[in-house]
Homo-oligomer: A and B are copies of this chain.
Amino acid sequence: MPTLSVHRIGMAHPGDVAALAALFDAGVVAPQAVRAVIGKTEGNGGLNDFTRGYFTQSLMALLAERSGEPAASLAARIPCVLSGGTEGALSPHAMVFSVGQGSGARGLALGTAFSAPTPPEEIGTGAQIAAVAETLRAAMHDAGIARAADVGLVQVKAPATTPPGADPRVVMARSRAAAALGVAVALGEVAAEAARAEALLRDVSLFSPRASISSGIEVACNEVIVLGEADGWADGIALGVAPMADLLDLPGVVAAFRAAGLAADPCVPEAERHRILGVIAKGEPSRDGLIRGHRHTMLGDTDLDPQRHLRGALGALVAAVAGDGCVFVSGGAEHQGPPGGGLVAVLAAKR
C-alpha cells in the first residue's frame, strides 16, 4: 500500500542539494523512494536560465551516488520540474515527492510519466497536445487514479528547444500552451477537436483549471506529474486547488489554502504553518494590458521580462498567505486558467 510524502528543502544556490542529502542521512527519506521533484531556482526563468539544468544535474548526481542507479537512468524516470525565478519574496526551494510503504484505503496518489522526445518542430503543435494527453493518461495509470474527476493537479515540464531565429519567449509560451491543452483534453475539460494548434494562445476560453505547466530547454520530452485521489493509497495529505480570477484575486489565494484544510484568514496562522507541505501557483500578465481597468506595464518593459514582473507580484500574495516565501510561483499560465488569472494549489498534512 503506497504512502505519499512531501518534503520541502531549501537551497543555498542552484547546485546545492545538501538539504536532501541530510534527509537521506537522517533516514527521513529513502533515496530509492524519490519519485518526483518540483522546485524553484533563482534564475531569470527564461530560455537562458541554466539554474534549472544545474539543479537537475546536481540532484541526479546525488540520487545516483545514494541509490547506485546511473544518473541518466534516474533522469529518465524521475521528473524534475523546475521553474526559474524567485523574484521579490520568493525563496529558492524544492518539494521532494517520495512514495513509501503505508496503509490506507484511499488517499492522495502520485503518478509520473514521460513522453517520447519532442522534436523541435513538434513544439507548440497538435502533436505535442496529443503527446501530453497520452502521457498524462499513463501517469494516471501509474498512480492508479481511476477517473479524470479524481485528478487534483497536473504538473508538466515541457521542452522548449528553440531553433535559430525563433523568438524564445514565443517557443516557451507555445510549449506551455500545447501542454496545457493536452492536459485539458486528457481530463475531458476541452474536446480533442477543439484543442488544435490554431487555438494555441488564441482561444483563451479553452483551459484546464488543474494544469500547471513550465517549459525550458533543459528537458527533451514532456515530463508529467499527476496528483489525485486513488484507492489503496494512505490518507494523510489534502490537496486544495482554487482559481484566481485576476492577479489581485487575494480571496482566490485564500480559498486554495482553505480547500486544503488550513485556517487562512487571510494568512495561515503561525501554529498551522508546519502543516503546509507545498504550494504551487501559476499566473500571467493580462494580455489587454489592464487589471481591473487600470493599465499595468508588465508587457512592454524592455528591461524586465513580463514573467519576472508576474512572479514577483503573484509570489508576494501567495507567500503572504502561506507565511513564507517557499512557494512555487510560476508565470506563463497560458490555457491554465482564465485569461489574466491563474491557479493556486496547496498540499497540507491532514490534522
Residue positions of A touching B, CB distance < 8 A: 10, 12-15, 42-51, 53-54, 57-58, 61, 86-93, 162, 164-165, 167-169, 217, 247-251, 254, 266-267, 287-305, 308-310, 312-317, 319-321, 323-326
Contact = CB atoms under 8 A, between A and B. Distances in A.
Contacts of A162: 300
B10 A297 contact: no
Contacts of A14: 50, 53-54
Contacts of A51: 50
Contacts of A47: 300, 302
11 contacts: A12-B295, A15-B50, A49-B302, A89-B248, A92-B297, A248-B324, A250-B321, A254-B266, A303-B303, A312-B313, A313-B313
Contacts of A324: 248, 291-294
Per assembly, the copies of the chain total: 4
Q: Choose among A43, A250, A320 the residue with the greatest number of B CB atoms under 10 Å from its CB.
A: A320
Given A48-B302, A312-B87, A313-B312, A287 B164 contact: yes
A54 B300 CA distance: 18
Given A47-B300, A250-B266, A309-B312, 14 more contacts: A10-B294, A46-B301, A46-B302, A48-B297, A57-B57, A87-B312, A88-B247, A89-B248, A90-B297, A164-B287, A165-B287, A293-B324, A294-B326, A302-B305
Instruction: Summarize A's interface: helix, strand, loop or mixed.
Output: loop
Nearest to A71: B61
Contacts of A317: 316-317, 320
A13 B304 CA distance: 17
Contacts of A89: 247-248, 291, 296, 313
Contact of A309 (B50, B87, B248): B87
Contacts of A301: 46, 48
A66 to B, nearest CB: 16
A273 to B, nearest CB: 9
Contacts of A304: 44, 87, 303-304, 308
A296 B325 contact: yes
Given A87-B312, A165-B288, A302 B92 contact: no
A303 B303 CA distance: 6
Contact of A323 (B292, B309, B326): B292
Nearest to A270: B292
A86 B297 contact: yes
Contacts of A294: 10, 91, 93, 324-326
A312 B88 contact: yes
